[in-house]
Amino acid sequence: MAMIEQYKQLLKDFVAFQSVSTDTQFQPEIQKTVAWLQRVFGQNGFSVRIITGYDNPLVIASFVYDPALETVLIYGHYDVQPAKVDEGWASDPFTLTEMNRRLVGRGAIDNKGQVLVHMVNVFEHIKSKTLGYNVKFMIEGNEETGSPLLEQFIASNSALLAADFVLISDGEISGGKPNIEVGFRGGLNSVLTVKTSTTDLHSGLYGHSVPNAIHELSKVCADLYDANNRIVVPGFYDDVDSVSDDVKKANQAIPFSLEEHKRISGAKILLTEPGIDFYTQVGLLPAIEVTTIVGGYMGQGFRNGIPATATAKINFRLVARQNPTKIAKAFEKYVRSILPAYVDFTFEFKTPYNASKIDTKNKYVERAQKVLEVAYGSTPIYKYVGGGLPMVNSFEKALKIPSVLVPLANEDCAMHAANENFALTNVEQALRFSALFLGK
């Protein structure tokens, strides 16, 4: 069977598991996914260990081909974001569907489809005796919940994970050229709840005489950025390094089409800081995004109650030396300064993690660069990524090995959204890269 057919077949099986880690009702599906991975690796000659005790099980599969060769540790995750067909999917999200030369399904690129590119190539190299490295796969099940116990697992299992370098493919390709990722933002998640009365109050009997929780919460959420698109929280930029001219120049050289950006995002405007290009803004500068607001009556018709409470979920993306816990404290202080004394509030934050910077001066990144050039027919871009990948810090700290980060997904892959997809052109390029990179 041609490799692409084998790939599609395995991806269909992999995507069919609803391995959603953000909701405990999917636990049976998580278990099924792990059993499937164990079987697939076992059938291809790997020795497999299923590690429990660190939240969802981790799958560690290793294949020693020749002790004289170096070892690559390939990281991936089998858990996915939730998906429901009525969220705008053209077909059932857990049935891999091929349409318009795209493989569509939850996990098609995040991350089942990407880690599978490396799996099928390693399997093929084993069969044809052309593997260039000994290989360990580490596939976890809590990436979408922030991998809370992964750092601890890596730190206490350095012998099991021992390798010469890490290979990770878990992102999108920007600028129409292959990418090597060189930095990731840190961040944290938080929940802000305001309370203005003990119970919702009749808007006829009380309207315009009592505070309204939604109005008060909106005061915080509405003005997080000033006229220059800078975050207004005092102290927020204290530990943000200014971006060097070299990095700015390199980012400005990455092909960027405003029209294409509008097409992919559906947004009508680019809201970067004055004079800052898109890649510098999302890769090297911090952000605060209110991602959820809940309050008041959401049922049919109208209840006309003045809400007593309202809640916002707020996501922070941080850079450089910004300390997530310090930022959370600064934000809480800011909220206190904005809200009037008659408003009570609680502010909780979770999963703080630091930004990461990737060392690119090593032979593994050099090899990736050369192979990408051959596989894609153009010179790779070194890219600062807006998202986070905190385990890179753990690999560096605990295993003392470098990471090579090569994203494989198309830029319009709809990660975390409806109709997540892996464009077949990108699948073909990805398979070519992986075959060359992992071969002799």
Query: In the complex, which residues of this chain contact Zn ion (CB under 5 A)?
Result: 110
Q: Minimum distance between the CB of residue 239 and Zn ion, rounded to whole angstroms?
A: 27
- Looking at beta carbons, which residue is closest to Zn ion? 110
Q: Tokens 């990455």 map to which residue?
A: 254
CB-wise, 216 or 420, nearer to Zn ion? 420
- Smallest gap from residue 364 Cβ to Zn ion (A): 24
CB of 80: closest distance to Zn ion in angstroms?
7
Q: Taking the complex as a whole, how short is the minimal distance between the CB of residue 119 and Zn ion, in angstroms?
A: 18
Judged by beta carbon, residue 110 or residue 332, the one nearer Zn ion is 110
Q: Which is nearer to Zn ion, 313 or 333 (CB)?
A: 313
Mapping DSSP to helix (H, G, I), strand (E, B) and coil, where does residue 43 land?
helix
Residue placing its CB nearer to Zn ion in the complex, 82 or 132: 82
Residue 51 pairs in a beta bridge with 58
Task: Specify the 3-state DSSP secondary structure of 307.
Answer: coil
Q: 182 or 409: whose CB is closer to Zn ion?
A: 409
Burial 318-342 (b: 16+ CB within 10 A, else e): bbbebebebbbebbbebbeeebeee
- The least distance separating Zn ion from the CB of residue 416, rounded to whole angstroms, comes to 6
Q: Which is nearer to Zn ion, 151 or 239 (CB)?
A: 151
Shortest Å, Cβ 40 to Zn ion: 22
83 — phi, psi (to 5°)? -155, 135
Task: Give the 3-state secondary structure of 196-228.
Answer: CCCCCEEHHHHCCCCCCHHHHHHHHHHCCECCC
Phi-psi region of 208 (alpha: psi -120 to 50; beta: other; left: phi over 0): left
- C-alpha 275/C-alpha 177 separation (Å) is 24
φ, ψ of residue 60 in degrees (nearest 5): -115, 115
Q: Which tokens go with 169?
A: 């493919």
